[in-house]
Structure 1
Amino acid sequence: MRTGDHVLAMVNDLHVIFGKGPGGLAVPNDVEGHAPMWKKKSIFWDLPYWKELEVRSSIDVMHVTKNLCVNLLGFLGVYGKTKDTPEAREDLQRLHEKDGMPPKQYEGPASYALTKEEKEIFFECLLSMKVPTGFSSNIKGIINMPEKKFQNLKSHDCHVIMTQLLPVALRGLLPENVRLAIVKLCAFLNAISQKVIDPEIIPRLRSDVAQCLVSFELVFPPSFFNFMTHVLVHLVDEIVILGPVFLHNMFPFERFMGVLKKYVRNRARPEGSISMGHQTVDVIGFCVDFIPGLKKIGLPKSRYEGRLTGKGTLGGGNSIICRDGYSWSEAHYTVLQNSTLVTPYVDEHKNSLRSKHPEQCDDWITCEHIRTFSSWLETRLRGDTTVCDELYSLSRGPSSTVLTYKGYEINGNTFYTIAQDQKSTNQNSGVRFDAATERGNDTYYGYIMDIWELDYGHDFKVPSFKCKWVNLSGGGVQVDPQYGITTVDLNNLGYTDEPFVLANDVAQVIYVKDMSTRPWKRKDKEANTSYDEPKRHIVLSGKRDIVGVEGKTDMSEDYEKFHEIPPFKVKADPSILINDEDYPWLRRNKQMTQAKKK
């Protein structure tokens, strides 16, 4: 790697007069006839510390991801004009001329291009996707179903496609070795996009991106490899120096440019308009923050208020009298079970049961504890003036009048009931609950049926979700050993005796159809029936949205409360698998299987 002193010495004596008119002076080629690496000396070299910087110009990961996405989708045949042209095949032939391969080995369907049937499945999967509020743009708006093409892709759309959606949509499509290389690249981009990157995985990330590029060289024609593909190998070294990608990404700057553009009132003087608009906002902010007793007039209440602590959004907080005493008791017990104030009394009650029923087993003690604990706690603390108000309110139990909602915002997430989800363009009903059990930590997946807000009096309300949970055993939850993808069977439900969970303790997930588990169509079955639906769904993590919440950033302590589950993880080296094939750039069916290299 060149040092700052070395680069400064290369540009220090450059003298260029730009232009083709009289006096124009170009930079001459070197002694070997190569074009010069630099054509001018940047003014930044006048800064005394510039040559000491390890990174003087960071890589724009946002636009690298966008250009890489558009390039890859073009070769898959789902964006713009096809890149699988005769010229590309000729380039591939010239690349392998030294291997003495006959010209016919460069003819035929490409292994990296989706077939017509695969495009049907690919876009059917994308069309069925519904993402949470604030996750991305509506997927239906960026796909053209009649032409089976992507359209109107923005930078963030490309980021979501490459880090989340593409491996899911490609599930079961393309030859396995080609698909493995693409998924590994997406897993690499997902890993470097995280808020926290473990330094111990840096060597693995370097190896992963190298394996991906080697695999692509064996499959794609030379036209696939442009400058944007090359700079991927430098991203990890840059992360070691500058930190995670989000610290030096272009997204915040692009958003702020959108804010500045709105200040323009006089199009003939855009710079002055931006300056005056920014100055006006600063003055108003100063007045609001530092003038005591200032009351806002005509300004609406911030819609972000309560997004972290919890507030109902849809349904209007309808009050209903809970006539289902069993569900009411389950919800109340869930609140008691998760309260640190109540924890000391749990052991006391269990010990009391064991002393009264020494002949009973632990399972019977647990069931009896769940059934009688709330009434025992109320009797135990009745008349006790030493306990705090919150504990005393918990012991008395909530009101039988329950507030119900169709939507609820808490921890920066927007949650819906499954009934509301079916009417919405978003999917906000999927939840994940991490529980500590005797076997260790278990992760439960489910979806919300009802949203309750229990009223314990004195402005003390506890939101809870009534959910249906997927069985952890019996094929309910599985992890793909090759891709690390978690899949669930939403019809394999269990744990009906524990439906409630505190709204503050769940993370949001997305369920996407796993098209590889869809049954083969039969002639005696009609299309678009439940028979054609995939048997399993892929689990992806949702995204918390705290933009606009006062005093909170995405580095706040409570922001990292839930650990995101990696959507996919590939341990195998796809370049080794692809190198075992004679013609990895061609798609071979069973009748055209070629002998493997020995």
Structure 2
Amino acid sequence: MYPVERRLLTLKRYVRNKARPEDSIAEAYVAEESLTFCSKYMTDVETRYNRSPRNKGFSDESVFGVDVFGHGVNLIGGCQLTYCEKFDQLIFYVRNNCAPVEEYVGLFKSQLQEDGVAEAHIDTRFRQGFVTWFRNHIFCRSPTEMIDDDLRALACGPDLRVRLYCTCVVNGVRRMRKKNKRSQNSGLSCMGTHNNKDIDFYGTLKEIIELQYNNKEDGTPRSVVLFRCDWYKLDGKRIALKDDGFFKSVNTGSLWYNNDSFILATQARQVFYLPDTKFGKGWQVVQTFGHRHLFNVSEIDLGARAEIVPPTA
């Protein structure tokens, strides 16, 4: 609120000789600029420019051969061991959203078509039988065929007991499920498909779920972190998403996709919801933001020159 006063406080701290305050400020300013310039080239010394971020993940994706295991989510606090009623749905979503499993998805759907399953029932049969088929297909293959250990662990399945957490750090953002909290770290959005169209789904975080798989030979744990969310309904005559080109407003009174409420933690993007003063109660304005420590700078070809267009009369 007071940038001038804050800057004067910094300059006053530079004064060491009160008889010549201007010289002290100039000398300290040059020294600070020199140290700042040098500190950016010291990779083996911790400075404020190479300090580890406050919200940091725990693992590297290159360690695992399956992308869902290299999520890098840092789970904070204690966990609650419980059994989930939608355990089969969790396993299906993980396998259906794993890149190395895409070829097996296409193979299973082709097999359903060869068996004479109608096109309208393929999606239903796929949801019901893909988990079992994938496990049997991986373990019944010839021993001479090379199967990645991570893919084999994924086919084996996780522990029947899931772990519920209240807080986690993913993609440099701290997320908390909104339960008796006044903070707004629970709002999120995710890209999805509705009526064969790609749209942004908006909702709130309800549960942070971790699935534990078999550990690697060196003891590195394999796990998958998912979010259970409440998605706000964006389709309807009175509650449809309102977008005037500047603000997007959603109605928080109606929910949809209750049977498809799980996403991977890495698929979520954080948003905030503000009260909508135009449409009144039940409507929230979606506010997106960019992280202060992340920059999206477009690359410029230095060899190419910009075309200079002379001004017209």
TM-score by length of 1: 0.40
Structure 2 residue aligned with 1:366: 123
Deviation at 1:341, TM superposition (A): 0.6
Deviation at 1:476, TM superposition (A): 3.8
Structure 2 residue aligned with 1:477: 240
Whether the aligned pair in 2 keeps the contact of 1:310 and 1:408 (CA below 8 Å) is no
Comparing both structures, which one devotes a greater share of its residues to helix? Answer: 1
Is 1:392 aligned to residue 141 of structure 2? no
Q: 2:73 aligns with which of 311, 318, 325?
A: 311
Paired letter, 1:266: R
Structure 1 residue aligned with 2:43: 289
Distance 2:113 2:43 in 1: 59
Paired letter, 2:87: W
Paired letter, 2:57: G
SS of 1:333's equivalent? helix
Is 1:555 aligned to residue 313 of structure 2? no
Deviation at 1:485, TM superposition (A): 3.4
Distance 2:12 2:157 in 1: 52
Distance 1:446 1:258 in 2: 45
Structure 2 residue aligned with 1:539: 286
Distance 2:55 2:12 in 1: 22
Q: Residues 36-75 of structure 1: matches in 2 within 5 Å?
A: none
| Unpaired segments ≥5 residues, structure 1 | 1-152, 156-253, 519-533, 558-598
* Cα shift readout 1:99-131 (whole Å, capped 9, x = no counterpart): xxxxxxxxxxxxxxxxxxxxxxxxxxxxxxxxx
Distance 1:393 1:411 in 2: 25
Q: Residues 259-278 of structure 1: matches in 2 within 5 Å?
A: 264=14, 266=16, 268=21, 269-278=24-33
Structure 1 residue aligned with 2:307: none
Q: 1:407 aligns with which of 167, 176, 195?
A: 167
SS of 2:124's equivalent? helix
Moved more, 460-469 or 385-394: 385-394
* Cα shift readout 1:417-443 (whole Å, capped 9, x = no counterpart): 121xx424x312111111245622122
Distance 2:261 2:212 in 1: 19
Paired letter, 1:538: V
Q: Residues 497-508 of structure 1: matches in 2 within 5 Å?
A: 497-508=259-270
TM-score by length of 2: 0.71
Q: Which has the larger radius of gyration?
A: 1
Deviation at 1:323, TM superposition (A): 1.1
Deviation at 1:263, TM superposition (A): 7.7
User: Cα distance 1:259–1:436, how it changes in 2: closer, same or farther (>3 A)?
Assistant: farther
> CA RMSD of the aligned region, Å?
3.7
User: Cα distance 1:322–1:282, how it changes in 2: closer, same or farther (>3 A)?
Assistant: same
Whether the aligned pair in 2 keeps the contact of 1:406 and 1:450 (CA below 8 Å) is yes
SS of 1:477's equivalent? coil
SS of 2:86's equivalent? helix
Distance 1:517 1:461 in 2: 43
Is 1:416 aligned to residue 160 of structure 2? no
Distance 1:311 1:556 in 2: 28
Whether the aligned pair in 2 keeps the contact of 1:430 and 1:447 (CA below 8 Å) is yes
Distance 1:556 1:394 in 2: 38
User: Cα distance 1:274–1:295, how it changes in 2: closer, same or farther (>3 A)?
Assistant: closer
SS of 1:392's equivalent? helix
Higher relative contact order (CA 8 A, sep 6+): 1
Paired letter, 1:407: T
Paired letter, 2:228: K
User: Cα distance 1:313–1:460, how it changes in 2: closer, same or farther (>3 A)?
Assistant: closer
Distance 1:401 1:435 in 2: 28
Deviation at 1:402, TM superposition (A): 3.4
Aligned length: 270
Distance 2:284 2:166 in 1: 24
Whether the aligned pair in 1 keeps the contact of 2:81 and 2:164 (CA below 8 Å) is no
User: Cα distance 1:436–1:535, how it changes in 2: closer, same or farther (>3 A)?
Assistant: closer
SS of 1:423's equivalent? coil
Q: 1:353 aligns with which of 75, 89, 112?
A: 112
Whether the aligned pair in 1 keeps the contact of 2:212 and 2:224 (CA below 8 Å) is yes
Whether the aligned pair in 1 keeps the contact of 2:247 and 2:286 (CA below 8 Å) is yes
Is 1:431 aligned to residue 188 of structure 2? yes
Distance 1:497 1:508 in 2: 22
Deviation at 1:390, TM superposition (A): 2.7
Distance 2:205 2:133 in 1: 30
Deviation at 1:342, TM superposition (A): 0.6
Distance 2:149 2:285 in 1: 45
Distance 1:467 1:377 in 2: 27
Deviation at 1:492, TM superposition (A): 0.6
Deviation at 1:265, TM superposition (A): 7.0
Q: 1:516 aligns with which of 265, 269, 278?
A: 278
Comparing both structures, which one devotes a greater share of its residues to strand? Answer: 2
Distance 2:151 2:239 in 1: 38
Paired letter, 2:272: I
Paired letter, 1:387: I
User: Cα distance 1:443–1:413, how it changes in 2: closer, same or farther (>3 A)?
Assistant: same
